[in-house]
Structure 1
Amino acid sequence: MVMRYITTLIFVVVASCVGYSLYSTYDSNPWTRDGQVRAYIVEVTPRVTGQVTNVLIKDNSQVKKGDLLFEIDQSVYQAALNKAKASQKQASALLKKARDEERRAVNLEKRAPGAVPVLTLNNLGNAVETARANVEVMQAAVEEAALNLQFTKVYAPTDGYITNLQLRQGSQVTANTPVVALIDEHSFWIEGFFKETDLKGVDDSNQTLVTLLSHSEYVLEGQITSIGYGISMQDGSTGNSLLPVVNPNFEWIRLAQRIPVKVKLTSVPDDVQLRIGMTASVKIMKGSESK
């Protein structure tokens, strides 16, 4: 009987020691399984409206900065450029005419003072200035038309991956409306959500250990780059009549809120492809700093 009590006591002591050790480890190095892979998504947006005549990309393909993604019908914009150039020539001709008329009047006034009224000379000078301004306006119109013609070809703004491609040849695109999602391949990071009670003593110099659910054989090293300063508030949001919305239910057990912690991986193995939304576990090494 005594041995049974001694054995039970030993098991309790060992369990307590193990539990305390695990708690101490977790307290000094917070850990969460609530992590996700994130990256910046560039919304490729055409700057002109028209019909797509050529699509040079495929869904889930990799592109490099400057690669041609798709082309928009150029005919309308080429015609607009030709029209602007013709208007520019016309404005230049009118400027030449105004200058010639002013020059003749000035020369006549020099040979026979008083032959040309002052008002006429002023009007001729104003006509030259107006014609010169019209030439500048037409020059700007030519530049704008040339830019619009260039915008019919849409290029990749950064290295990345095309995903969820819905664009097809013959589609009608509208200026300033996104049509292609491009994931910036240089912007991947891990977003870990930690309980607010775990962030005491954590700063952006701490190192982290990250394990991806899809590649559990790797333990990736990273560094905290930032800690979120706020999360969405459920109670207190504005409802009808500008009054705050308050949840009538209150749990006796107060749950700690989760704060996002942004982690940048220092290196990624060649056979690991990061994808937005992948699940990750993140462990913060308190007291460790980047060198």
Structure 2
Amino acid sequence: MMIRYITTFIIVAIASVGIYTQYQYYAENPWTRDGQVRAHIVQITPRVTGPVTKVYIDDNSQVKQGDVLFEIEPSLYQADLKNANAQELQAKALLDKAINENTRAQALERRKQGSVSVLDLNNFQNAVQTAEANLAAVKAVVEQAQLNVAFTTVVAPTDGFITNLNLRVGAQVVANNPVVALIDENSFWIEGFFKETDLQDVHAGDKASITLMMNPNDVIEAEVDSIGYGIAKSDGSTGNTLLPNVNPNFEWIRLAQRIPVKVIINHVPDGVQLRVGTTASVKIFKSSNS
């Protein structure tokens, strides 16, 4: 009987030491399974309106900066450019005429004082300035028309991945309305949500490790970039009939809030592809303990 008690005591002691050791390790190195892969999403937005004539990308394809994504019917904007070029030629001709008339009047005045009135001389000079201003305005119209023609070809602003593509040839796109989502492949980070009680002595620059649910055996090297300064409140927000929402809770239980921690990735193992929204586990190694 005594041997049984001693054996039980030893087992309990070993289990207690193990639990305490794990607790200490967890307290020194906070860990959460509540993490998500994030990245900047670039909304590809056409600058001009028109039907799509060509689409060069596929859904879930990878593109490089400068790759052509799709083209918009350019004929209308090419016609505007031709019209603007014609206006520029006309404005140049009017400027040349104004300069010639002003030069002639000044030459006559130099040969014979009083042959041209001061009012006429001022009018000729004003005509030159007006023609110059008109030419400058027309040049701006030409530049805008050239830009519109260039905008009919839409290119990738950065390296990334096309996702949820619904654009088709013949579809009408509208200026300043996004039509394609591009995930910036150089902007991935991990958002880990830690209990507020775990973040004491956690600082930017602390080392971290990440494992993805879809790649549980591959450890991603990372480090803490920043810790969120606030989260939205649930109690007190306005609900139905303009009354405050208040969630019921137990007086003897205080649930720790979760604070977002931004973790930047230092190295991604070969064969691991980051995908926005996927689940990640994050462990932080406090610098004070290293």
Q: How far did residue 10 of structure 1 move? A: 2.7
- 1:190 alignment partner in structure 2: 190
Q: How far did residue 248 of structure 1 move? A: 5.4
- 2:244 alignment partner in structure 1: 245
Q: Any residues of structure 2 matched to 1:100-249 within 5 Å, and which? A: 100-237=100-237, 245-247=244-246, 249=248
Q: How far did residue 244 of structure 1 move? A: 8.0
CA contact (8 A) 1:34 1:193 kept: yes
Deviation string for 1:139-197 (max 9, x for gaps)? 11111110111011011111111000011111111111111101111111111110010
CA, structure 1 residues 248+19, in 2 after alignment: closer, same or farther (shift >3 Å)?
closer
Q: How far did residue 288 of structure 1 move? A: 7.0
Question: Counterpart of 2:267 in 1: which secondary structure?
Answer: coil
CA, structure 1 residues 148+181, in 2 after alignment: closer, same or farther (shift >3 Å)?
same
* Letter of the structure 2 residue corresponding to residue 122 of structure 1: N
CA contact (8 A) 1:205 1:288 kept: no
Deviation string for 1:233-276 (max 9, x for gaps)? 223446799x8834152332121111111112222122111111
Q: CA RMSD in A?
A: 2.0
CA, structure 1 residues 111+289, in 2 after alignment: closer, same or farther (shift >3 Å)?
farther
TM-score calculated relative to the size of structure 2:
0.93
Query: Aligned residue pairs: how many?
Result: 289
CA contact (8 A) 1:205 1:289 kept: no
CA, structure 1 residues 121+244, in 2 after alignment: closer, same or farther (shift >3 Å)?
farther
- 1:12 alignment partner in structure 2: 12
Q: How far did residue 89 of structure 1 move? A: 0.6
Structure 2 CA distance for aligned equivalents of residues 104 and 222 of structure 1 = 77
Structure 2 CA distance for aligned equivalents of residues 283 and 74 of structure 1 = 53
Q: Any residues of structure 2 matched to 1:63-74 within 5 Å, and which? A: 63-74=63-74
CA contact (8 A) 2:219 2:269 kept: no
Q: How far did residue 46 of structure 1 move? A: 0.8
Question: Counterpart of 1:37 in 2: which secondary structure?
Answer: strand
Query: What fraction of aligned residue pairs are identical, expressed as a percent?
Result: 60
Structure 1 CA distance for aligned equivalents of residues 105 and 267 of structure 2 = 78
Is 1:28 aligned with 2:33? no
Is 1:51 aligned with 2:29? no
CA contact (8 A) 2:239 2:245 kept: no
TM-score calculated relative to the size of structure 1:
0.93
Structure 2 CA distance for aligned equivalents of residues 112 and 103 of structure 1 = 14
Question: Counterpart of 2:65 in 1: which secondary structure?
Answer: coil
CA contact (8 A) 1:62 1:161 kept: yes
Question: Counterpart of 2:194 in 1: which secondary structure?
Answer: strand
CA, structure 1 residues 238+120, in 2 after alignment: closer, same or farther (shift >3 Å)?
farther
Structure 2 CA distance for aligned equivalents of residues 240 and 123 of structure 1 = 72
- 2:39 alignment partner in structure 1: 39
Deviation string for 1:42-66 (max 9, x for gaps)? 1111111111110000000011111
Q: How far did residue 91 of structure 1 move? A: 0.7
